[in-house]
Amino acid sequence: MAPPNATDATRNPAIEPLAFEALPAQVTAGVPHDVSFMVSPAHPSNQLRVERASSGREMAPVRAWPYGRDPATGTQRFRAQLPPVAAGETVEYRPILSRSGLFVKELPARSTRGVRAAAAPVGADWTPPPASGVPRYQWASEFLGAFTVQLAKPPESFGPAPDGLHITFYIASGDIRGPKINARIRGEGGDWMLVRRDGVGVADVRITYETDDGALLLSRYYGIFDLGPGGYERALRNEYDPVPPLVLAPQFVTSHPNWLWLNRLQCLAVGRVTMAELLVRFDLYAIRAGQPLPSSGLPPVQDTPLIGDIH
């Protein structure tokens, strides 16, 4: 199968990324870098991550995404956004190629050092570049924990209403375990779901977590529970696909001093529900916005470095 054609934006030389092997030994501090990698042999399952170390300290790796193929050689290309380097900081980059989760090889490494540049204040006459239909900002996803909940059987159905089918799924038990959150799920919560006539369930969840250190966290979730074509009619008969996908946008509220950082997060949850068992499993991530990409033409901003996997 031929590789997908590059978009007009990626063919535009004005926004072509810098070849990784051409990354200079010194770069302007505080500015992210858009770089590309050439990978051989090409394979649709190839994945590339860039491991980073600063003064011997390991940092979060950066994931690269497929970027088409070289039209002359057919070599597979990847593209990544390297986070800003601080003034005086030296960062070593080690690209690692894997396939289906297995190590393939390590590409040649490079190091670069951040140096200060004269500030170029944005004047009142600065205008942003026109929208080009390409990504403009870095963002990062930080894994918080794996969520597992047993729902009470049977769910409570209110029958078809003018706006769709209302079903309440109450929580029986559950927990979340991970590097950032470890807590049990209290049984007072649930999902007051509306199944639309197009077969899409709109989740409306309220959950109380009790953390291992005794804090109470209130979480509110909205999102999409896709029951597939004909899902509304099948839900009326209490019939469902075996493991439909679930995508949620959780937020947290707490007054506990150890957990105030959660109040600032917008999270993303992705997973599936085993309908025969009414068992919910999803992975919870914190999503954070970062610097404008070099290809955006937007000026850099003063902000703290991103945490997690950078995209």
2: tokens are 């031929």
**d(C-alpha 193, C-alpha 244), whole Å:** 14
Give the DSSP H or E segment for 7.
Answer: none
Instruction: Name the domain boundary from 103, 135, 167.
Output: 135
**d(C-alpha 243, C-alpha 154), whole Å:** 17
In tens, the pLDDT along 36-75 reads: 999 988 888 889 999 999 877 888 889 898 888 888 888 8
**Residue 15: predicted pLDDT:** 65
Which residues are paired to 237 by β-bridges?
none
**Residues 6 or more apart in contact with residue 15 via CB below 8 angstroms:** 9, 132, 134, 295
In a domain, residue 237? The reply is yes
**Residue 235: predicted pLDDT:** 93
**Residue 118: predicted pLDDT:** 57
In a domain, residue 306? The reply is no
Same domain, 152 and 259: yes
Check which CATH number belongs to the domain holding 241 and give it: 2.40.160.20
Does 127 score more than 70 pLDDT?
Answer: no
Average pLDDT, the chain: 87
**Residue 106: predicted pLDDT:** 93
Check which CATH number belongs to the domain holding 30 and give it: 2.60.40.10
Q: Which of 220, 203, 283 is nearest to 254 (CA)?
A: 220
Same domain, 268 and 148: yes
Same domain, 201 and 80: no
| Cβ–Cβ < 8 Å for 214, 204 | no
| Cβ–Cβ < 8 Å for 22, 53 | no
Q: Which of 62, 66, 5, 71 is nearest to 32 (CA)?
A: 62
**Residue 131: predicted pLDDT:** 52
**Residue 246: predicted pLDDT:** 95
Same domain, 111 and 39: yes
Same domain, 131 and 145: no
Same domain, 127 and 150: no
Does 9 score more than 80 pLDDT?
Answer: no
Kindly give the residue spans of alpha helices, DSSP state H, lying in the chain: 8-11, 231-236
Same domain, 284 and 150: yes
In tens, the pLDDT along 182-232 reads: 999 998 899 999 999 999 999 999 999 999 999 999 999 999 999 998 999
64 vs 9 pLDDT, higher one: 64
In a domain, residue 19? The reply is yes
**Residue 128: predicted pLDDT:** 56
Domain that holds residue 280: 141-288
Same domain, 40 and 120: yes
Residue type, 150: Q
In tens, the pLDDT along 237-293 reads: 999 999 999 999 999 999 999 999 999 999 999 999 999 999 999 999 999 999 888
Instruction: Name the domain boundary from 89, 110, 135.
Output: 135
Q: Is the pTM of this model over 0.95?
A: no
42 vs 167 pLDDT, higher one: 167
Same domain, 78 and 157: no
In a domain, residue 170? The reply is yes
**d(C-alpha 78, C-alpha 63), whole Å:** 10
Kindly indicate the confidence band of residue 147, based on its pLDDT and cuts at 50, 70 and 90.
very high
Same domain, 163 and 194: yes
In a domain, residue 235? The reply is yes
Instruction: Name the domain boundary from 116, 135, 154.
Output: 135
Same domain, 72 and 181: no
In a domain, residue 309? The reply is no
Same domain, 131 and 16: yes
In a domain, residue 299? The reply is no
Count how many domains the chain has: 2
**d(C-alpha 246, C-alpha 225), whole Å:** 5
In a domain, residue 261? The reply is yes
